[in-house]
């Protein structure tokens, strides 16, 4: 309770800090509506225009229909905005705005994004408390964050960016992930609190993925680390399974929110998540076969040795490593075959560029 109370207090301080920075930097309250809208440059203004389209329509449903046949973004052609952009935040904010349209749309939009940042401090402080169990960690971590907030987040300068909608859910997700990693998990003996933690992990994962098109690359880093920890027997099969299913759930929700766009499934993150799940099941199958297989001939003894080697917990065992590489390669090839080359090549090129590994000219 102390950590939650401290998180709420520092979250209010952070929200007020972001609000005052925009006020002193832009004199926000003294600007006209047009001037406020002009301050949203480049993609910020693009995403806000979708929100304005929704709230300016007679009903939300009509606004949603207009965005499905948009001819302004890539005029004179028509495109489905839901397939091309992550505008779930704008849709949700438009629904809330329709319930109480007392402010100007630009003021409501600005305030909503600012208030959402409160979850950043709440998630970080709860995570600090969960990891250290020391009360001093809460004010210490919050103070360090507030003193360096402009190096941590761009929300004070570029408010409507996708990352500013997604990162608050990411930091909340870190808290639930820390809880699940710290404890022992038995899928058949889960308590109510563990069910709640798993549900919140899945929910925050989906929210993070649906609000930021590049969220899958953050998940790729996390999934890679989890794969290494699982291979080194640092985390349980059950923990790796829960995180893998949570990541896949987030990618599926992203695809559904983008009108069935297959872009998320072209990601190496999706392939690695499936590799983790398939390997866990293959390892369990090999363990069962090694225990139940009987035979005295050479072939039977050879199979038993193979099964035991595949189910080995040794970190440097060659068999499991080669098996994982084979599963990953097969799944990656299938994803490249079934998913359009444009989506797949875009993601692979992005990863190569970030890793500075054989960038395409």
Residues 3-56 have pLDDT tens digits of 888 889 999 999 999 988 888 888 888 889 998 888 888 888 889 999 999 998
Residues 190-209 have pLDDT tens digits of 888 889 999 999 999 999 99
Instruction: Give the N- to C-terminal CA distance of the chain in Å, as an integer.
Output: 54
Per-residue confidence band for 268, with pLDDT thresholds at 50, 70 and 90: confident
Residue 297 pLDDT > 60: no
Q: Single out the residue of 166, 179, 150, 261 nearest to residue 218, CA to CA.
A: 166
Residue 361 pLDDT > 50: no
**Burial class of residue 27 (count of CB atoms within 10 Å of its CB; 0-12, 13-18, 19+):** exposed
Per-residue confidence band for 295, with pLDDT thresholds at 50, 70 and 90: low
Task: List the alpha helices (DSSP H) in the chain.
Answer: 2-26, 33-38, 43-56, 60-68, 81-84, 88-99, 105-116, 118-132, 137-147, 149-152, 162-182, 192-211, 215-231, 237-257, 268-292, 298-310, 318-338, 341-355
Whole-number Å distance between alpha carbons of 127 and 180: 12
Give 33-56 as a DSSP string.
Answer: HHHHHHTS-THHHHHHHHHHHHHH
Residues 82-122 have pLDDT tens digits of 888 888 999 999 999 988 777 889 999 999 999 999 999 99
Q: What is the pTM of this model?
A: 0.85
Q: Which residue has the higher pLDDT, 233 or 346?
A: 233
Contact (CB, 8 A) for 189 and 203: no
Average pLDDT of span 128-139: 89
Whole-number Å distance between alpha carbons of 161 and 174: 21
User: Could you give the C-alpha distances from 218 to 20, 139, 325, 351, in angstroms and in order?
Assistant: 30, 27, 21, 11
Share of the chain above pLDDT 70, in %: 85
């Amino acid at each position: 309770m102390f950590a939650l109370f401290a998180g709420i207090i520092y979250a209010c301080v952070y929200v007020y800090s972001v609000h005052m920075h925009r006020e002193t930097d832009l004199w926000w309250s003294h600007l006209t509506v047009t001037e406020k809208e002009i301050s949203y440059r480049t993609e910020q203004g693009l995403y806000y225009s979708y929100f304005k389209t929704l709230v300016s329509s007679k009903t939300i449903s009509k606004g949603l229909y207009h965005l499905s046949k948009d001819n302004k973004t890539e005029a004179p052609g028509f495109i489905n905005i839901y397939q091309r952009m992550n505008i779930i935040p704008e849709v949700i904010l438009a629904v809330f705005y329709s319930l109480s349209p007392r402010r100007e749309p630009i003021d409501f939009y600005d305030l909503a994004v600012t208030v959402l940042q409160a979850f950043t401090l709440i998630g970080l402080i709860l995570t600090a408390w969960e990891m250290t169990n020391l009360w001093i960690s809460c004010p210490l971590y919050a103070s360090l964050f507030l003193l360096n907030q402009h190096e941590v987040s761009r929300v004070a300068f570029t408010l409507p960016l996708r990352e500013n909608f997604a990162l608050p859910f990411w930091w909340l997700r870190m808290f639930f992930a820390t809880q699940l990693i710290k404890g022992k998990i038995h899928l058949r003996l889960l308590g109510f609190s563990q069910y709640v933690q798993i549900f919140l992990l899945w929910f925050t994962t989906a929210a993070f993925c649906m609000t930021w098109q590049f969220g899958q690359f953050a998940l790729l880093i996390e999934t890679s680390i989890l794969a290494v920890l699982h291979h080194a027997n640092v985390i349980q099969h059950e923990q790796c399974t829960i995180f893998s299913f949570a990541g896949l759930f987030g990618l599926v929700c992203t695809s559904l929110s983008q009108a069935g766009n297959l872009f998320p499934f072209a990601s190496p993150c999706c392939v690695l998540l499936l590799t983790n799940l398939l390997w866990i099941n293959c390892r369990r199958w090999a363990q069962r076969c090694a225990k139940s297989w009987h035979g005295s001939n050479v072939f039977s003894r050879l199979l038993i040795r193979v099964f035991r080697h595949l189910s080995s917990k040794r970190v440097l065992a060659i068999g499991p490593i080669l098996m994982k590489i084979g599963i990953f390669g097969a799944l990656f090839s299938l994803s490249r075959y079934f998913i359009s080359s444009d989506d797949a090549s875009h993601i692979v090129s992005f990863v190569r560029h970030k890793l500075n590994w054989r960038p395409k000219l």
